[in-house]
A and B are shown apart, each in its own frame.
Chain A
Amino acid sequence: MARIQIITIITSLLFLLYISRLIIKGKLREEYAIVWCVCTLILVIFSFWRSGLEVMSKLFGVYEAPNLVFTASIFVILIYLLHLSVVASKLHKQNKQMAQDIALLKEKVYSEDRQLEN
């Protein structure tokens, strides 16, 4: 086994361990962790299967194997960013609704306090 294979396998496993730790500590939701775990798994698979990259490149019609890595990675990142944007939009909407609820409640409490004083 080549040196780079060993390095990537060890790094991937350490990465997986760290993600598990974050999930256990409650710092990372599972739904976000899935993407990272899948990526790490793919990295581990290709670390063991050296000729795998060549096979994949031929399959997709890509001449230079590393280009496939970059293209696939960028594509995955774009999709993930889109997902995060969707999540952020939802959080924004929920924030707005809560802020409005809070303001209405504060006003109600203030009014009732004034009424009690009088």
Chain B
Amino acid sequence: MPMPKQLLIIIPCYNEQASLPALLGEVGSLQIPGYELTPLVVNDCSKDNTYAVAKQYGAKVLDLPINLGIGGAVQSGLLYASQYHFDFAVQMDGDGQHPPKELIKLLAHNEATGANLIIGSRFIENEGFQSSFTRRLGIGYFYWLTRILTGVHVFDSTSGFRLFDKKAIELATNYYPDEYPEPESLVHFSKAGLRISETPVIMAGRMGGQSSIRNFASLYYCIKVTLAMLFSAIRKTQ
């Protein structure tokens, strides 16, 4: 019997006390043959009882002393993955939008393609929860920008539901963008020679609480991320 692969489930949370119990319950009962799952809640200095709720459900918690944002929080989880030599890490948002049962699709796609970063995409097949029109417009824009800068066809470049293999974990521990990290990190990973692949998943709407990115298609987001991606593309990789 080969050793099961160690998979760290990084659950970044900011004020997610409402969604966390259901999510941790689902993750706890998840069984994937060949993989040993370890949930890790990253509490991004929440103002509510996220920490207490996570501890109550027996999860390991990284308790950040200051709010770092999604990029910093996910990177903290990846640092943990690197430190404890995990084979894989997956980002699973604390609001419940990334259903645990879809995780097996990401792993299957990694086994099939061997890509370093697997993105769970909402937009390859038009199923599941669909965002607003303006949001999808923005995502279309990033599809073209990502394709121009990296050559990779990514329909859902803003998806946080991603599987990192060992190589991707190591790269991300050195650099992972702070604000709106998803599209920019694709450029960075691609430049470093990592293979990126997408697979369709079905995502849920928020289970509880409030989103921290209210108006997704806001101009600031688009300009900021475009600039970040352009700079990432011309920056020399270390």
**Chain A 97-109: CB-based contact to B (< 8 A → 1; otherwise 0):** 0011011101100
- Within 38-93 of B, Cβ neighbours of A (below 8 Å) are at 42, 60-66, 68, 72, 75-76, 79-80, 83
Contact code string A77-118 (vs B, CB < 8 Å = 1, else 0): 000000000000000000110011011101100110000000
Asked if B170 is an interface residue, CB under 8 A from chain A, the answer is no
* Distance A29 CA – B80 CA, assembled complex (angstroms): 36
Count how many chain B residues have C-beta atoms less than 8 Å from C-beta atoms of the other chain: 16
Residues of A within 8 A of B80 (CB): 104, 107
Residue pair B72, A96 in contact (C-beta under 8 Å): yes
* Nearest CB in chain B: distance from A75 CB, A: 25
Q: Please report whether the interface of chain A is mostly helix, strand, loop or mixed according to DSSP.
A: helix
Task: Establish whether residues B61 and A107, one from each chain, have CB atoms under 8 Å apart when the complex forms.
Answer: yes
Complex contact B66–A104 (CB within 8 A) = no
B75 lies within 8 A of A103 (CB): no
Q: Quick check: B75 and A100 within 8 Å, CB to CB?
A: yes
Question: Could you tell me the distance in whole angstroms from the C-beta of B58 to the nearest C-beta in chain A?
Answer: 11
Residue of A96, A103, A104, A106 touching B178 (CB-CB under 8 A) = A96
Q: Of A99, A102, A104, A111, which is within 8 A of B72 by CB?
A: A99
Contact A99-B68, Cβ < 8 Å, known A104-B80, A107-B80: yes
Closest B residue to A102 using CB positions: B65
* Smallest Cβ-Cβ distance to A111: which chain B residue: B60
Q: How many angstroms between the C-alpha atoms of A100 and B75 in the bound complex?
A: 8
Instruction: Count residues of chain A with CB under 8 A from any CB of chain B.
Output: 11
* A106-B76 contact given A96-B68, A96-B178, CB 8 Å threshold: no
Is A104 a contact partner of B79 (Cβ separation < 8 A)?
Answer: yes
A104 to B83, CA, bound (A): 9
Assuming the contacts A99-B68, A99-B72, A100-B72, asked whether A107 and B79 have C-beta atoms less than 8 A apart, the reply is no
Q: Find the residue from A96, A103, A111 having the highest chain B CB count within 10 A.
A: A103
Complex CA distance for A95 and B72, rounded to whole angstroms: 11
In the complex, the answer to whether B66 meets A95 with C-beta atoms within 8 Å is: yes
Is B60's CB under 8 angstroms from A103's CB? no
In the assembly, what is the distance between CA of A63 and CA of B60, in Å? 70
Residue of A nearest to B69 (CB): A96
Minimum CB distance partner of B75 in chain A: A100
Contacting residues, chain B, for A106 (C-beta < 8 A): 62-63
CB-based contact A100/B64 at 8 Å: yes
Chain A residues near B60 (CB-CB < 8 A): 107, 111
A97 and B63 CA atoms in complex are apart in Å by: 14
Bound-complex Cα distance A106 to B41 (A) = 13
Q: Is the CB–CB distance between A103 and B83 below 8 Å?
A: no
Contacts of B75 in A (CB 8 A): 100
Q: Which 3 A-B pairs have the closest CB atoms?
A: A103-B62, A100-B76, A103-B64
30 A-B residue pairings within 8 Å (CB atoms): A95-B66, A96-B68, A96-B72, A99-B64, A99-B65, A99-B66, A99-B72, A99-B76, A100-B64, A100-B68, A100-B72, A100-B75, A100-B76, A100-B79, A102-B64, A102-B65, A103-B42, A103-B64, A103-B65, A104-B62, A104-B76, A104-B79, A104-B80, A104-B83, A106-B63, A107-B60, A107-B61, A107-B62, A110-B61, A111-B60
Extra pairs beyond A102-B65, A103-B65, A107-B63 (11, CB < 8 Å): A95-B66, A96-B68, A96-B178, A99-B68, A99-B72, A99-B76, A100-B79, A104-B79, A106-B63, A107-B62, A110-B61
